[in-house]
Amino acid sequence: MSQSEKTPISTALHDLHVSQGGRMVDFAGYNLPVQFEGIVKEHMQTRASASLFDVSHMGQVTVTGPDFNTTINALESLFPGNLKNLKPGGMRYTVLLNKQGGIEDDLIVTRPAEGQASDGTMFIVVNAARKDHDLALMQSALGDILQFKLHDDKALLALQGPLAATVLATLCDAPHQLSFMNSMPAQIGGIDCQISRCGYTGEDGFEISVANNKAPELAKLIYADERVKPAGLGARDSLRLEAGLCLYGHDMNDEIDPVAANILFSIGKQRRTDGGVVGADAVIDIINKGSKMRRVGLTFSGRMPVREGAEIVDNAGAKIGYVTSGTFSPCLELPICFAYVPAHLAENDTPITAMVRGKPVTGKVSPMPFVAQNYARKPGLNT
Amino acid sequence: MTKIAYSQDHEYVRTEASGATIGISDYAQEQLGDIVYVELPSVGTVFKKGDEIAVVESVKAASEIYAPVDCTVTEINAALEANPAEVNADAMGTGWLMKVSVQNEEQLGELMDEAAYATHIA
């Protein structure tokens, strides 16, 4: 039975979402709120103040090996990110590649903070729809060296927005300890959790991992601050699009490589020449020869959204590319999308024509992120 | 006398002495969420019942709107081009989509009245 045929799993916050008026949908096998008050309102709330998202569908994995070097060497044979230079508490965005250089998943690897866990322990967060796939892949490649444990017993809450740090600082010290892409264990109201300064909205924010049975209590502590409102999957999608961030299964898949996807930063600089990692030779070859296609951001005038599946055409009307994600940007009030176009058309301001319901609409290649990212480059309240 | 009839797909037809108006129901706008774009047909276009007559797009998705009866478009709500959110604000009123001349009056009888529609969406 495939995941989509199963009864969707309710997260630890399900009842809270329903009581807050969340409109629940089945997403990647999870019963999650797509919206509360409305996508545009939640989107703007996140850009102006702070929102709390339930991202418990993400796969939280603990990796255990005998010591740091053994664990890192093993993980670096699968992930092309530079993990060796992660400091305690440091986080790295990277990918899982196949032999052809296609992206099997994108994920974040975190090194536990000083003294938090045994030396050979690392944390990984993977996409909901890919967790079983990734786990099987990691286990078959590294199972004799490392143990992998998927935490179905943990929830993940994302507090996002320019006031996220200010709000969280009333509950714990983490905002004063962490800069972007750093993580630490903490207590909020006596509840043990793991706080990471990261997110998927382009705003400053935190992802808080907590035991399922404590998650509603923790969420209520955060909601006690009136500056925080609930937000759903709809706003999460429009926010990440404005921030230029890829979504696996849409903007990336196992036939798209990191060069085409424009996420080469997921591969460590030194590691591009190292070799010895699955898919690296293929990616190095693509870097040298150049990628045929390239993911770009497109903007259009007017209001008509250009969405996933729209074809990109040349002057003669022949298909030369395709749109992988798109929406109407609530902040910019114009249609934005990600599209794969031939690499020679990837320069900013190049006119690009998409077909929407059989009609051509011309926009242009535009720099990503569409809306400036607002990450905390140093610890503190980022005001 | 004003009469409102609803289709299974949540379009309404309001018939008055002056003519007929097509829009989407309040329930439909609520389900779609924030409407960001409305694509309307040209005046004079002739539609058969069930034809796609408009597209209403929210942040999340595009939804096709179907002709509830055979009709010819006589006027479109041009104000929606600049302000599509009017459909959210007042779907049954100022957020109307188009005025039409109904070609087949009998088809109005095949639609639901207010009470039947209330049951339909319950």
Same domain, A336 and A220: no
Distance CA A315, CA A355 (A): 12
Domain for residue A329, yes or no?
yes
What pLDDT sits at residue A136? 97
Q: Which residues contact A200 (CB under 8 A, 6 or more apart)?
A: A55, A158, A160, A236, A239, A240, A243, A245
Domain for residue B75, yes or no?
yes
Q: Which residues of A touch B62 (CB under 8 A)?
A: 305, 307
Q: Is A34 on the interface with B (CB under 8 A)?
A: yes
Distance CA A165, CA B12 (A): 48
CATH code: domain of residue A12: 3.30.1360.120
Q: Which residues of A touch B37 (CB under 8 A)?
A: 303-305, 328
Going by pLDDT thresholds of 50, 70 and 90, the confidence category of residue A14 is very high
Contact B36 A43 (CB under 8 A): no
Closest by Cβ to A304, choosing from B34, B39, B58: B39
Chain pair A-B, CB pairs under 8 angstroms: 42
Mean pLDDT of A23-47: 96
Closest by Cβ to A330, choosing from B39, B59, B61: B59
Domain for residue A263, yes or no?
no
Domain for residue A206, yes or no?
yes
Same domain, A302 and A237: no
Q: Residue A242 in contact with residue A371, Cβ under 8 Å? A: yes
Residues in chain B, total: 122
Domain for residue B110, yes or no?
yes
Distance CA A181, CA A66 (A): 25
Q: Which residues contact A20 (CB under 8 A, 6 or more apart)?
A: A33, A36, A230
The residue type at B58: S
Q: Is A305 on the interface with B (CB under 8 A)?
A: yes
Same domain, A48 and A187: yes
Domain for residue B111, yes or no?
yes
Q: Residue A306 in contact with residue A356, Cβ under 8 Å? A: yes
Mean pLDDT of A7-11: 94
Domain for residue B82, yes or no?
yes
Put simply, the chain A residues between 171 and 210 with a CB less than 8 A from any chain B CB are none
Same domain, A217 and A338: no
Domain for residue A317, yes or no?
yes
Domain for residue B48, yes or no?
yes
Q: Is B59 on the interface with A (CB under 8 A)?
A: yes
Mean pLDDT, chain A, rounded, equals: 95
Domain for residue A175, yes or no?
yes
> Phi and psi of A355, rounded to 5°?
-105, 125
Same domain, A206 and A354: no
Which parts of chain B have pLDDT scores under 50? none
Q: Residue A107 in contact with residue A124, Cβ under 8 Å? A: yes
Domain for residue B121, yes or no?
no
Q: Which domain holds residue B78?
A: 3-115
Residues in chain A, total: 383
How many Cβ atoms from other residues are within 10 Å of residue A304's Cβ?
Answer: 22
Distance CA A108, CA A91 (A): 7
Q: What is the DSSP letter of A13?
A: T
Same domain, A48 and A195: yes
Query: B40 to chain A nearest CA, in Å?
Result: 12
Reported ipTM: 0.90
What pLDDT sits at residue A272? 79
Q: What is the DSSP letter of A8?
A: P
Same domain, A232 and A159: yes
CATH code: domain of residue B55: 2.40.50.100
Number of domains into which chain A is organized? 2
pTM, rounded to two decimals: 0.95
Number of domains into which chain B is organized? 1
Q: Which domain holds residue A315?
A: 292-366
The residue type at A247: L
What pLDDT sits at residue A341? 98
Domain for residue B60, yes or no?
yes
Q: Which residues contact B12 (CB under 8 A, 6 or more apart)?
A: B4, B5, B6, B22, B23, B24, B25, B68, B92
Q: Which residues of B touch A43 (CB under 8 A)?
A: 59
CATH code: domain of residue A304: 2.40.30.110
> Phi and psi of A108, rounded to 5°?
-125, 130
Q: Is B79 on the interface with A (CB under 8 A)?
A: no
